[in-house]
């Protein structure tokens, strides 16, 4: 085992890139420090990567605490991959809690800041003919924030940084930034519908989804407004705010 020393409160993209460059194994698996891998997690990842054309493997998620808020926030953030999940190929994946073939990630990573809009890396993998799959046995217990306000602020800060990064990587001019900011107004409803669609074959989660709709809608609405701000005005202090709320906020666990 090797440990890497980074400056205090280093931005998470820098930490991910440092781990990627230091790794030597063919697979790199990122997992947040408030996420806890179950027994068999690593074996499930390796089994999934043994399949041809699997470029990245998504974990499945369960709340680390049993309260309403914990379940609802996890539904908002990781509902697409919450357990129980049948596994198999998915069209889009989670960020930070995910595993990759190291050589593919190095190939498609333009710079460490690309982790800020990780879904663009997923699109690049898929365009290159690789699949992203969910491994049902790669179960992770995830701690959620203990207050809805903290969850909204953290997700909002993350989405503003994502919006700014997406616009910068795409070299968007002012007209496209404005158009995308206006279009993002439909995202809360679209996001809820897309989440509901992902649950259609998982009836065990329907109750959690319906009960958590007020929480999901609050987080998605705040995230949409913040992403629009990122398109229009850049990141502001969103990176510092996200880092503070990711590292210092109380979680349920």
Q: For residue 193, what is the enclosing H or E element?
A: helix 187-198
- Strand pairing category for 54-63 and 131-142: parallel
> pLDDT tens-digit profile of 69-97?
999 999 999 999 999 999 999 988 999 99
91 occurs within a structural domain: yes
> pLDDT tens-digit profile of 10-65?
788 888 999 999 999 999 999 998 999 999 999 999 999 999 999 999 999 999 99
193 occurs within a structural domain: yes
CA–CA separation, 223 and 238 (whole Å) = 12
4 occurs within a structural domain: no
Containing structural domain, residue 133: 12-252
Measure the CA angle with vertex 147, ends 146 and 152; round to 5°.
120
114 occurs within a structural domain: yes
23 occurs within a structural domain: yes
The pTM assigned to this predicted structure is 0.94
Give residue 149's pLDDT band: very low, low, confident or very high (50, 70, 90).
very high
What is the number of other CB atoms lying within 10 angstroms of the CB of residue 202? 16
Longest CA–CA separation in the chain, Å: 50
122 occurs within a structural domain: yes
3 occurs within a structural domain: no
Q: CA 211: distance to chain centroid?
A: 22
Q: Structural domain tally of the chain? A: 1
């Amino acid at each position: 085992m090797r440990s890497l020393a980074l400056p205090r409160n280093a931005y998470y993209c820098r930490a991910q890139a440092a781990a990627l460059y230091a790794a030597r194994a063919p697979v790199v698996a990122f997992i947040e420090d408030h996420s806890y891998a179950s027994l068999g997690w690593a074996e499930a990842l390796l089994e999934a990567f043994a399949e041809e054309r699997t470029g990245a493997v998504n974990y499945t998620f369960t709340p680390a605490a049993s309260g309403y808020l914990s379940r609802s926030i996890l539904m908002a953030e990781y509902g697409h991959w919450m357990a129980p999940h049948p596994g198999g190929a998915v069209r889009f994946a989670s960020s930070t809690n995910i595993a990759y073939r190291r050589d593919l990630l190095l190939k498609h990573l333009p710079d460490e800041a690309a982790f800020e809009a990780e879904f663009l890396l997923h699109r690049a993998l898929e365009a290159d003919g690789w699949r992203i799959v969910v491994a049902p046995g790669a179960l992770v217990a995830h701690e959620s924030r203990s207050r809805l306000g903290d969850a909204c602020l953290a997700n909002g800060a993350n989405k503003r940084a994502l919006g700014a990064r997406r616009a910068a990587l795409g070299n968007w001019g002012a007209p496209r930034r404005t158009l995308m900011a206006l279009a993002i107004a439909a995202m809360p409803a679209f996001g809820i519908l897309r989440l509901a669609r992902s649950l259609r074959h998982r009836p065990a989660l329907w109750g959690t989804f319906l009960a958590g709709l007020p929480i999901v809608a609050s987080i998605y609405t705040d995230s949409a407004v913040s992403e629009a701000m990122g398109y229009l005005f850049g990141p502001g202090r969103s990176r510092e705010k996200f880092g503070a709320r990711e590292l210092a906020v109380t979680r349920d666990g």
